[in-house]
Structure 1
Amino acid sequence: MTEETDQAAARTLGLRPVALSGRLAVGGLLLAGVAWVVRGVWEVRLAAAGEPASGPPDQGNGVHRPLDALENSYHFVTTLGGGAAFLCALLFVSWLWRLRDNARALSGQRPRYGGIWVYLGWIVPVVNLWVPRGLVVDAFQASAPGRRTPVSLDVWWGLWLVGMLSGVGLFYKDSTDEIIARAYSEVWPLLASDAAVVGAAVAGVFAVRAVTRAQTERMGAAGAAAGAAGEPAGVRPLP
């Protein structure tokens, strides 16, 4: 379904267009993926350069030596990566909110998770291990009853968890200087975590496209049915 037909179906049914929101979410995922590729390249550069004779940047007891040019550039790269990840999160959550609201209207069923979990589901410990995936699955199943959940959705979530739980990916506890020290001494865990994040971004692109397509197809069918019946704006759950 094109963006124009998506908007037309949404107007007919009193729903929110989701095609453009899906494209923006895809763009955010790709941007975050590129940012983590660049981050990995810089970590390889640090490993290849080797730790300076003066030791790691964080020398303990609150002592930090001056950073060299490569270390400074890594700080810049991680700052840009954090900005890309934040933008990706905003675009993804905006898409997910529209998706959830439309799915509820199309199916006439109450979602399993309250709206607050669209935000809190990502940050509340333990709960964030399954609720975000559950929100997407719930919206997909309500939009396309009887269809199997896309494999890309499970791949996305599995890789996301690896990147999140590895401690050196999306939600690492160490400072940037400590990550630099890791790159000097044990770069492979960093690169493995980066690869998981990039893989999650790529799989997320396919998942967002598949779920968005399923909902826009349902909206198109519902809009056509409403138009043929000459019903006023609004949506009636389809069987």
Structure 2
Amino acid sequence: MNDQIAQSLFRPTRSAGRMAVGTLLLAGLGYLLRAVWEIRLAAAGEPASGPPDQGEGVHRPLTALEDSYHFVATVTGVLTAVCAICFLAWLRRVRENAADLSGCPPKYSGLWVYLGWIVPVVNLWFPRGIVADAFRTTAPGRRLPASVSIWWALWLTSLVTGIGLIYSASTDEIIARAYSSIWPLLASDAATIGAAAAGALAVRAVTSAQLACLAGDEAATPPEWAGA
């Protein structure tokens, strides 16, 4: 391996991986806090005045607990946005590095790094495919880390619930759901938290494999990151 190539790719790959892992865990923490506040809302019960959004543009004043939930939801949204940016930056980096290391063009066009998450139907497998392709190109013959499949299964679960990272309802509507039917909310939160944790492990596994390849030392990848 050419030392100049290794030097140019080593630090960006490692730093991008660390940023992705850190922001994934922070986003997961945000959803954990959101779940705690939803449990608090359910335990407190809906006020006699009804839900915050009372229809026809009428909104009653929020309680202190509801107001604090708005704050938690806003912080979680910001953390999720930062996480998305860092994860996409990491994904683009490892995709490009895999192509440079192997000398083969990636299986998926660079546009799919971004569009693959929002285009209907293909968003069910393209993002996982890009991660898997980067790993398999970097470490041919090795099994895909189990964390990649777990991350993707949990991510899809959060999408199926309709309340996950792309849920479009207002915060007041979510508060009303916490009062009336909290379990779907908690199920979605749990799937999102699990996806964030598994995603962090997947990022570490793929990054580690790539760094090992750059260093010319395959043994540098911890076996627990490589899957069974």
Residue 9 and residue 95 in structure 1: after superposition, are their counterparts in 2 closer, same or farther (change >3 A)?
A: farther
Residue 125 and residue 96 in structure 1: after superposition, are their counterparts in 2 closer, same or farther (change >3 A)?
A: same
User: TM (normalized to structure 2)?
Assistant: 0.90
Tell me the equivalent position of 1:63.
58
1:40 aligns with 2:35: yes
Residue 116 and residue 142 in structure 1: after superposition, are their counterparts in 2 closer, same or farther (change >3 A)?
A: same
Tell me the equivalent position of 2:67.
72
Query: Which ranges in structure 2 are unaligned for 5 or more consecutive residues?
Result: 218-228
Cα distance in structure 2, aligned partners of 1:63 and 1:137 = 49
Note the aligned Cα RMSD (angstroms).
1.6
Q: Percent identity?
A: 62
Q: CA deviation at 1:11?
A: 4.1
Amino acid of the residue matched to residue 111 of structure 1?
P
SS at structure 2 position matched to 1:18: helix
1:139 aligns with 2:125: no
Match of 1:92 among 87, 95, 107: 87
Amino acid of the residue matched to residue 211 of structure 1?
V
Residue 9 and residue 23 in structure 1: after superposition, are their counterparts in 2 closer, same or farther (change >3 A)?
A: farther
1:209 aligns with 2:204: yes
SS at structure 2 position matched to 1:105: helix
1:21 aligns with 2:16: yes
Question: Segments of 4+ in structure 1 off by > 2 A?
Answer: 8-17
Maintained 8 Å contact 2:154/2:192:
yes
Q: CA deviation at 1:125?
A: 2.1
In terms of mean alpha carbon deviation, does 141-150 or 117-126 score higher? 117-126
Tell me the equivalent position of 2:164.
169
Amino acid of the residue matched to residue 79 of structure 2?
A
Q: CA deviation at 1:13?
A: 6.6
Residue 220 and residue 57 in structure 1: after superposition, are their counterparts in 2 closer, same or farther (change >3 A)?
A: same
Maintained 8 Å contact 1:165/1:171:
no
Maintained 8 Å contact 1:10/1:219:
no
Larger C-alpha radius of gyration, 1 or 2? 1
User: TM (normalized to structure 1)?
Assistant: 0.86
Residue 10 and residue 124 in structure 1: after superposition, are their counterparts in 2 closer, same or farther (change >3 A)?
A: farther
Tell me the equivalent position of 2:120.
125
Cα distance in structure 1, aligned partners of 2:152 and 2:14 = 22
Deviations, residues 53-91 of structure 1 (Å, cap 9, x unaligned): 000111112211111111111111111000000011111
Query: Which ranges in structure 1 are unaligned for 5 or more consecutive residues?
Result: 1-7, 223-239
Match of 1:108 among 78, 103, 112: 103
Amino acid of the residue matched to residue 119 of structure 1?
Y
Q: CA deviation at 1:14?
A: 5.0
Maintained 8 Å contact 1:36/1:198:
yes
Structure with bigger RCO (C-alpha 8 Å, 6+ apart): 1
Residue 186 and residue 220 in structure 1: after superposition, are their counterparts in 2 closer, same or farther (change >3 A)?
A: same
